[in-house]
A and B are shown apart, each in its own frame.
Chain A
Amino acid sequence: MDEARPLVELTGTTVRFGATVALDHVDFRMFPGEVHSLMGENGAGKSTLIKALTGALTPDAGTLILDGEARAFHGPHDAQEAGISTVYQEIDLLPNLSIAENILLGREPRRLGMIDGRAMRERARVILHDLGLDLDPAAPLGTHSLAVQQLVAIARAISRDLKVLVLDEPTSSLDLDEVAELFRVIRDLKERGVAILFVSHFLDQVYEICDRITVLRDGALVGEYLTTELLRIDLVQKMLGREASFFKARERVEEAIGSEVAFLSARDLSSGAGIVGANVDVAEGEVLGLAGLLGSGRTELARALTGVDRPDAGIIRIEGEAHALDTPRQALSLGVVYSSENRRSEGLVGDMSIAENIALALQAQRGALRPLSATKVRELATSWVEALDIRPADVDVPVRNLSGGNQQKVMLARLLAISPRFIVLDEPTRGIDVGAKVEIQNLVGEMADNGLSVVFISAELEEVLRVGDRVAILRDGHIVETVASADVDVDSLMALVARPDLPEA
Chain B
Amino acid sequence: MRLVKHRLFWPAAALVTLLIVNVVANPNFARITVRDGQLYGALIDILRQSAPLMLVALGMTLVIATRGIDLSVGAVMAVSGAVALTIIDSPSSNPNSLGTVLIAIVVAVLVALVLGAWNGFLVSVLGIQPIIATLVLMLAGRGAALLITDGFITTVNSDPLSFIASGYLLILPFAFFVWLAFVIIVGVIERRTALGMLTEAVGINPEASRLAGVRSRGIIWTAYIASGTLAGIAGVIYAANIKAADANAAGYLIELYAILAVVLGGTSLMGGKFSIAGTVIGVLTVQALDSTILFLGVPPAQSPVFFAVVVILVVLVQSPRVHRWGRSVGARFRHSDGEADAPSSPERQKEVAR
Contact = CB atoms under 8 A, between A and B. Distances in A.
A379 B210 CA distance: 24
A333 B341 CA distance: 58
Interface residues of B, number: 31
Contact of B194 (A60, A361, A368): A368
Given A348-B205, A364-B215, A370 B349 contact: no
Interface stretch (A239-247, A273-281, A350-358): A350-358
B214 A345 contact: no
Interface residues of A, number: 43
Contacts of B205: 345, 348-350
Contacts of A414: 212
Interface stretch (B160-168, B196-204, B231-239, B308-316): B196-204
A347 B208 contact: yes
A338 interface: yes
A346 B200 contact: no
Could you say which of A332, A349, A371, A414 has the most chain B C-beta atoms within 10 Å of its C-beta?
Answer: A349
A493 to B, nearest CB: 29
B213 interface: yes
Nearest to A74: B352
B352 A57 contact: yes
Given A328-B210, A345-B207, A17 B350 contact: yes
B348 interface: yes
Contact of B208 (A15, A329, A346, A368): A346
Contacts of A58: 344, 348-349, 352
A61 interface: yes
Nearest to B348: A58
Given A58-B344, A360-B201, A368 B211 contact: no
Given A329-B215, A351-B204, A352-B200, A369 B193 contact: yes
Interface string A307-348: 010000000000000000001110011000010100001111
A453 to B, nearest CB: 19
Given A349-B204, A352-B204, A364-B215, A72 B346 contact: no
Contacts of A352: 200-201, 204
Contacts of B208: 345-349
Contacts of A348: 205, 208
B210 A57 contact: no
Contacts of B212: 328, 332, 360-361, 364, 414
Nearest to B351: A57
A329 B194 contact: no
A16 interface: yes
Contacts of B207: 345-346
A16 B346 contact: yes
A332 B215 CA distance: 12
B197 A363 contact: yes
A18 B346 contact: yes
A75 B352 contact: yes
Given A17-B350, A51-B353, A60-B343, A363 B198 contact: yes
Nearest to B192: A371
A53 to B, nearest CB: 13
A365 interface: yes
A372 interface: yes
Contacts of B195: 368
Contact of B346 (A56, A60, A360, A364): A60
Nearest to B341: A72
Contact of A363 (B192, B194, B344, B352): B194
Contacts of A51: 353
A313 to B, nearest CB: 23
A368 B193 contact: yes
Contacts of B130: none
A232 interface: no
A110 interface: no
A328 B212 CA distance: 7
B272 A364 contact: no
A338 B208 CA distance: 11
Contacts of A364: 198, 209, 212-215
Interface in A25-75: 51, 56-61, 72, 75
Nearest to B202: A349
Which 8 residue pairs spanning A and B have beta carbons closest together? A371-B194, A332-B213, A364-B214, A364-B213, A368-B195, A57-B349, A361-B212, A57-B353
Given A329-B210, A360-B209, A371-B192, 15 more contacts: A18-B346, A60-B343, A60-B344, A60-B346, A61-B343, A308-B211, A345-B205, A346-B208, A352-B200, A352-B204, A360-B201, A363-B194, A364-B209, A364-B215, A368-B194
Interface of A: 15-18, 51, 56-61, 72, 75, 308, 327-329, 332-333, 338, 340, 345-352, 356, 360-361, 363-372, 414
Interface of B: 192-195, 197-198, 200-201, 204-205, 207-215, 219, 272-273, 341, 343-344, 346, 348-350, 352-353
21 contacts: A16-B346, A17-B350, A57-B350, A58-B348, A61-B343, A75-B352, A308-B211, A329-B213, A333-B213, A346-B207, A346-B211, A349-B200, A351-B204, A352-B200, A363-B194, A363-B198, A364-B212, A368-B198, A369-B194, A371-B194, A414-B212
